[in-house]
Structure 1
Amino acid sequence: MNFMTTADKYGVVSEDATLTLERLLPGPIDRIWSYLVNSDLRRQWLAAGAMEQRVGAPVDLVWRNDELTDPPGTRPDGMDEEHRMTCEVLEFDAPHRLAISWGSTGGVTFTLREQGAHVLLTITHRRVADATVLLNVSAGWHSHVDVLEATLRGTSPTPHWDNFVRLRGEYAARLKG
């Protein structure tokens, strides 16, 4: 069930159904960190939601994926205009590591590591046991990070939903391999 090389930007799934996705982004590290913890910045690529910067704090995430890109692309059947989830901050080590709970999975960890003028963002989404959820999580993180990277580079991202659908097909083929 392993797939990916970092060079092609795809996530890797390990035997315990954990997705790891890495992306080298233009720094500095404090800039990338702000896109993780600041609701107004996070909503531009993932989901809004105020976050107290301390372990144990609740985070009410609100996804409005139709607002991520203009145009948004065609929303696939079964995806709502808005999605909400309450998470909890599990680790907080600014500006290097943030971990939050994530629904019925093992949670998500964001790790930032400086590499010269760039920052390596590593997203680790642990224990996504359901195959359909894993497929959506893989394509979802990849497409959301594509929006983040375009935002940070000052370029126009691919319409979010079209990118998500394309990536879901590609991850489906990779997960079968």
Structure 2
Amino acid sequence: MTDLATPDTYGTLIEPTTLKIQRVLPGPIERVWAYLTEGDLRRQWLASGEMEMKVGSTFEFVWRNDELTDPPGQRPPGFSGEHRMEGSITEVDPPRKLAITWGSTGGVSFELESSGDQVLLTLIHSRVLDRTMRLNVSAGWHMHLDVLAARMEGTQTGPFWDGWLRLKEEYDGRLPA
């Protein structure tokens, strides 16, 4: 096992349309895997929805971002209280890797690497073609992973939507035009 360095919490583009973002989370790896794959745990930081852990199985995620933090903050115009998206599992290697299709923006992979009592989560979201969508996706993943880290550490984050809006502005300055 290697010692995990704390990565920058900001995502970076590893290709023009591919975002990579990492977090060091408290382990064990099976606990992090559960937060990725079990609907009742995943809804606490991302979206609800049951998943059958086999390649080719389909699922529906249901986002209710207003429920992730208390208070939720001011929801931006154009966003609703609930969002649904269908996907399918393209790769599964418990408890190390889960890859899924993701609506119209391509694929998302979650890779876990254990080191002692910590786990490095590497998220890669590919084929986000539109820059406005890349800003939304980057801020969204960043904020959702902040909520995940807080849940796993037993702490709180600030209001979800306020954080998302702040991060979207920050990513606007960080990502190429």
The reply to whether TM is greater than 0.5 is yes
Identify the residue that residue 94 of structure 1 maps to in structure 2: 94
How do 1:13-162 residues align onto structure 2 when only pairs under 5 Å count?
Answer: 13-162=13-162
TM-score (normalised: structure 1): 0.94
Contact 2:7 2:22 (C-alpha < 8 Å) held by counterparts: no
Is 1:169 aligned to 2:169, yes or no?
yes
Identify the residue that residue 10 of structure 1 maps to in structure 2: 10
Contact 2:73 2:159 (C-alpha < 8 Å) held by counterparts: yes
What whole-Å deviation, never above 9, does each CA across 1:5-61 have from its counterpart, x for those lacking one? Answer: x64300011233100000000000000000000000000000000000111111100
Identify the residue that residue 3 of structure 1 maps to in structure 2: none
Contact 2:7 2:24 (C-alpha < 8 Å) held by counterparts: no
- Identity across the alignment (%): 57
- The list of structure 1 runs, each at least 4 consecutive aligned residues, that deviate by more than 3 angstroms after superposition, is none
**Structure 2: gaps of 5 or more residues:** 1-5
What whole-Å deviation, never above 9, does each CA across 1:104-130 have from its counterpart, x for those lacking one? Answer: 222000000002110000000011111
Q: How many residues align?
A: 172
TM-score (normalised: structure 2): 0.94
Contact 2:19 2:126 (C-alpha < 8 Å) held by counterparts: yes
Contact 2:12 2:175 (C-alpha < 8 Å) held by counterparts: no
In structure 2, give the amino acid aligned to 1:73.
Answer: G
The CA distance in 2 between the partners of 1:168 and 1:116, in whole Å, is 33
**Structure 1: gaps of 5 or more residues:** 1-5
Task: Let me know the Cα RMSD of the aligned residues.
Answer: 1.1
The CA distance in 2 between the partners of 1:36 and 1:140, in whole Å, is 16
The CA distance in 1 between the partners of 2:15 and 2:124, in whole Å, is 13
